[in-house]
Amino acid sequence: MLRAHECRTIQYTRIGTMAATLVVGLSLFSPARAADPALRMDHLLARQAMNAASSAKATRVTTLPVIVVTERPLNRQMERQFTQLGGVIKSRYTIIQGFSGVLPASKLNAVAQLNWVSRISSDMTVKRLDEEANAAIGLPEAVSNQGVNGKGVTVAVLDSGIDNHKDLTNGQGASRVVAEVDFTGEGVADECGHGTCVAGIIGGNGTKSTGKNFFHTYAGVAPNTKLISLKILNKEGQGTVSAALSAIQWALQQQAKKHIRVLNLSFGHAPAESYTSDPLCKAVEAAWRRGVVVVCAAGNRGRSVVDDLNSPPAYGTINSPGNSPYVITVGATNTKNTADLSDDVMASYSSHGPSRLDHVVKPDLVAPGNRTVSLNVRRSTLFTRKSSNAIPWNAYSLKRDTDSATPFYYRFSGTSMAAAMVSGAAALMIQKDPSLTPDTVKGRLMKTARKSWNPAVGRYNPFVEGAGLVNIPAALNNHDVVKGKAFSPIAWRKENGHLALLNVGLLWNNSAIWSDSAIWSDSAIWSDSAIWSDSAIWSDSAIWSDSAIWSDSAIWSDSAIWSDSAIWSDSAIWSDSAIWSDSAIWSDSAIWSDISRTALEGDK
């Protein structure tokens, strides 16, 4: 489904009476050299292999979609070995040095033991992560004072396609969608409606709501940016990791020719392995290293109980590839449909950090995402299923005083929308200074983010709001340069109760902000002048309890992310139309008993 250099291994750390797995995202050891073939697979496939070995009944699922990362470039002999074991190769990749395909469950162990196989991962299903907002991020001020509009910057949108909407044209009526590529096999049209919405938030220019007959214009963040549609999601808003890998690979191949500076990924899947081996995370890391800003939605799994607005927060619910420390991961706020920041709150569904398995501090920042107005696609899945979200004519038009639905605009909610806001902000920053690196873009956005925007609420903790609410004028006016890497830090709680940070290189002119020795206390380095303010909440009762996210028994138990009420239900990733339907393997009693790991997987 959808979904580096050398490092070190951090051993299991005891928190209270429970063990917490901490994976640091620099190379730990080579999974291809592990004695146990299960250590070369993600947790899903390790369970599949275990079931296939112990029960002939489990092999009723004859083949599984997989992504294989190889130790060396694929050649004919390697392909022949894979096919002789019953595998079929679907797509080949250079960005992760590997391929996608299908493989009998009974042959997983055999393939994992091939000396050229580094890692086998599930080809998981990725899902879409579904006015006032512009004021909340300071856009009117930025446009007025800086004169930026995204001109000269191209943003590639990996989504469900982009419709031919008037708001995505230039002043002469020509489309600013300069390329459309389909990776679903269903054509380039946006039958879902999600991709067009995302494109509108990034680069809509408000053509259909501008003029003497209108009193409100619905425009995006960077209304003169060029867009590329890389369709990886179908009409239901679902796709596969392999399709996303192909799209990212295409974008990097066309990077120079198409002037691609930003990738927007408003989709994701619940992580089944460390970001150091997750194929989608490795692909976005490759894009980042090539100088492309990658913006990811955090996910919409922030409630412990999905349908309960008053449910306590669900920590550890960041989606892949937003769990990568390289990318900019964005959570969502709720503007309450006003331009006043003082009533804005976090959207209850916005996923919380830290990331599972790796404990990466996420999200990096937040942006408006609740009931955000963007472009509508008539006859799309979203519109036909809930036409009541379409904007009525009398909400913005003097020409038609009617509350009937307009065909042009629609209200959307989700971290998908928040990510699109930040992609637009990145485009504005790059237009102003084309020399900016992805690390400097990320660092400036985080450093200048509003640390407290609602006095009644005060600061949220950084696992909820990251560095704060994106502030475009402040980011445009900042001139700091990141000399190292703007990795999101990895957190763990030491036995003395202090919170420590790992990972992350040097920032801000070689002054170590995120270093191994950093402790997140009031007396440490996270002052108001840096990323986090002194008022950030790091209390024991908030996040650090044994029942939260830090132990193996929490991560992999039925009561954690793998329960029926979470990602594995029909209403979530594993729908009847998905890859793994009709399989008896995914029962609660079978899958998520603890899988013994004698070492930690790492990247090469």
List the catalytic residues: 159, 194, 416
Q: Which residues, 6+ apart, have CB-to-CB distance to 561 below 8 Å?
A: 270, 301, 316, 317, 356, 555, 567
Q: What angle do CA 248, 180, 261 make, to 5 degrees?
A: 50
| Structure token digits, residue 326 | 């390289």
Per-residue three-class SS string for 490-552: EEEECCCCCEEEECCCCECCCECCCCCCCECCCCCCCCCCCCCCCCCCCCHHHHCCCCCCCCH
Does residue 111 sit in helix, strand or coil?
helix
Q: Which residues, 6+ apart, have CB-to-CB distance to 120 below 8 Å?
A: 40, 41, 42, 45, 66, 67, 68, 69, 103, 108, 111, 112
Tell which phi-psi region holds residue 211, choosing left (phi > 0), alpha (psi between -120 and 50) or beta.
Answer: left
CB 139 within 8 A of CB 372: no
Q: Which residues, 6+ apart, have CB-to-CB distance to 223 below 8 Å?
A: 149, 150, 203, 204, 205, 206
CB 288 within 8 A of CB 149: no
Nearest to 197 by CA among 1, 381, 429: 381
Nearest to 428 by CA among 291, 251, 262, 290: 262
For CA atoms 49, 51, 57, 60, give the dihedral sign.
negative
In sequence order, what DSSP letters do the residues of 174-210 get, joined into one string? -BSEEEEEESSSS-SS-SSSHHHHHHHHHH---GGG-
Does residue 228 sit in helix, strand or coil?
strand
Per DSSP, 349 falls in state T
| Structure token digits, residue 601 | 């997987």
